[in-house]
Amino acid sequence: MSLPPVPGTRHSPARLVATIAMIVAIFLVDTFTPLMSGVATLYVLALILLTSDLRPVNVARWGLACAALTLIAFLAVHGNGNDDLSAVLRMVFSLAAIGVATLLIRRAQKMFTTLQLSEQRYRTTFNTVAVAICAYDFRPLAEAVAALRARGVSDLAAYLATHPAEVERMRRSLRLADVNSTALKLFGFLDACAFRQYRDEFLPGLGPRFADCILALDRGGEVEIETRVERRDGQMLDMIVVFSLAAEAALDRVPCSMLDVTERRRLGAAVADSRARLERAHRATVMAQVSASIAHEINQPLSAIRSYAGAAHRWLVRDRPDLGEVTTALTSVIASVQRADEVIRRIRAITGKPARQESTRVGLDALVHETAGLLHDEAARHGGTLTVRPGAGAAELTADRILLQQVLINLVMNALQAMDGQAGPRDVEIVTRSRHGCATIEVRDTGPGLPEAFHERAFEPFQTTKPDGMGVGLAISASIVERHGGRLALTDRPSGGACARITLPLEPQEDTRPTPAAAPA
């Protein structure tokens, strides 16, 4: 984008002729008329005319010329020395006026030159910075907000929420004031004129979210919004737009910095997808190893049962059955069944490496805030929101911080995954309370709720509502909570969605059992 034209250094011929004519006229009037006033002070007007556009004219030379003409006229009229002191004073005042005017004009020229250099530096920086910047004129928006205030609108947020058409009209009132080269390249344009013709209004994709910009203008402060903007070729770009609407900021040219995060989000989604695939593959591998171990252990007692049962059958079908041998075989069958039952018990306990529980004093609200901080990006990837409503105050409990975090992460992830593809809101809330020596953590969602048949066996291993789930996360989470002396319960919310409620004692409960690590269901 080219720099705006700046005034040139050459004199305009018409202006130069007019200035010379004015100086000659002033000299003739001062010299050949009997006027008793300080006509020579009019030379100041000639100097102003000459430098009215503040171009780099050598005003000092013109000022000296005017002063010289003033002296010549004085000597020509009053050279005999017979006039009174007033004529001398008028001459001195005229010279003083010319001198002061010359100095002020020179100072103004220097300031103008400095301003030009500053503008050129600004333009150079504006056009070479690697961030796309579009400057918009926010004055129409400020006038619209002032008009609403004048009409008696006190709650601006509520008014904007109920008048989306007014919000859209305000957005359309903003106009592009400037655009830098990086923005032109980003959106696929060669010059600002073409860009202005294509898109002169402010961020068409914002819609009702433009109300946040209006409120920021009313209160003053910085604005950061995420939106999608269409390139000239039709490609949609994911953008983060940042600008300041502070009270002291000039509104005629508000620079909006635009960061293109399209590629970053694409790569982030690819990484997340790869991570999910790797996690599923890892879980499948672990389950395959566990299954192989279970099959190896249970095949032996099953084979023994089959052999002993066959032997008992053979002893019974003889002409003279040997009941002693039959009893021995059936006794061995019972022993093998007991061995198989032990394997099944180990399956129900979810075979795995025991994890050593390291209990410390944990602040309940701090734990929830820390866990939520780990999951905000994951919530955004699922198109949902994660909100924390702390209500436990300073309540603390003795627990393994890492294991409880794993439980919360598992419950939140289950809630987010349950709402995938849902058309309505996808909100997850973590609510904490503390009363009567117990702490309660609730993970609430706005999803479809729990299937009726799932309630009774929700915490059984390998039970899941997800097509690709392993069905072990809730079972392990319940086991962790129980080993902390608490209880995990799942219920449906009356308003829709599900609620996972963890109840824990604020006093430590002794439990020496090993605790398996949590995994998403």
Look at residue 46 and tell me whether its pLDDT is greater than 50.
yes
Residue range 410-434: mean pLDDT, rounded: 87
Res 4: pLDDT: 41
Which of the listed ranges 6-15, 457-466, 484-493 does the model predict with the highest average pLDDT? 484-493
Reported confidence tier of residue 517, pLDDT bands at 50, 70, 90: very low
In a domain, 275, yes or no: no
Q: Residue 147's pLDDT is what?
A: 92
Question: Does some domain include residue 288?
Answer: yes
Amino acid residing at 245: L
Indicate whether 33 and 77 sit together in one domain: yes
Cα of 254 vs its chain's centroid, Å: 19
pLDDT over threshold 60, residue 342? yes
The structure's pTM equals 0.42
Last residue of a domain, one of 108, 128, 148: 128
Please state, in angstroms and rounded to a whole number, the distance separating the CA atoms of residues 80 and 77.
8
Q: Which distant-in-sequence residues (6+ apart) come within 8 Å of 229 by Cβ?
A: 187, 203, 204, 205, 236, 237, 239, 258
pLDDT category at 502 given cuts 50, 70, 90 is: very high
Residues 124, 140 within the same domain: no
User: Could you tell me which residue, 462 or 412, shows the higher pLDDT?
Assistant: 412
Domain boundary among 93, 128, 163: 128
Q: Is 124 helix (H, G, I), strand (E, B) or coil?
A: helix
pLDDT at res. 521:
41
pLDDT at residue 45 in the model: 86
* Residue 478 near residue 503 (C-beta atoms within 8 A): no
Which one-letter amino acid corresponds to residue 14? Answer: A
Split at pLDDT 50, 70, 90, the class of 512 is very low
Domain termination residue (choose one: 128, 158, 181)? 128
- DSSP letter string over 58-93? -HHHHHHHHHHHHHHHHHHHHTTS-S-HHHHHHHHH
Asked, for residue 366, whether it belongs to a domain, the answer is yes
Query: What's the chain's average pLDDT?
Result: 79
Q: Over range 409-427, report the average pLDDT.
A: 85
Q: What 8-state DSSP symbol labels residue 252?
A: S
What are residue 355's DSSP bridge partners? 515
With contact defined as beta carbons under 8 Å apart, do 215 and 156 qualify? yes
234 vs 68, more confident: 68
Question: What pLDDT is recorded for position 209?
Answer: 80
Domain extent for 181: 132-260
Whether residue 210 sits in one domain with residue 252:
yes
Contacts for 416-423 with beta carbons within 8 Å, 24 or more apart?
A: 416/378, 416/379, 416/382, 416/384, 416/445, 417/382, 417/466, 418/445, 418/447, 418/448, 418/465, 418/466, 418/498, 419/382, 419/384, 419/445, 419/446, 419/447, 419/448, 420/382, 422/447, 422/448
**In sequence order, what are the beta bridge partners of 397?**
362
**Residue-level pLDDT at 296:** 53
The domain spanning residue 317 has which CATH number? 1.10.287
DSSP string for 302-359: HHHHHHHHHHHHHHHTSSS--HHHHHHHHHHHHHHHHHHHHHHHHHHT-----B----
Nearest to 40 by CA among 25, 58, 60, 62: 25
**Residue 88 · residue 36 · CB < 8 Å:** no
DSSP 379: H
- Residue 277 resides in a domain: no
Q: Checking phi first, is residue 444 left (phi over 0); if not, alpha (psi -120 to 50) or beta? A: beta
In this predicted model, what pLDDT tens digit does every residue of 229-280 receive, in sequence order?
888 888 888 888 888 887 677 888 888 888 888 888 888 888 888 888 877 7
Q: Tens of pLDDT along 193-234?
A: 888 777 767 777 777 788 888 888 888 888 888 888 888 888
How many independent structural domains does the chain possess?
Answer: 4
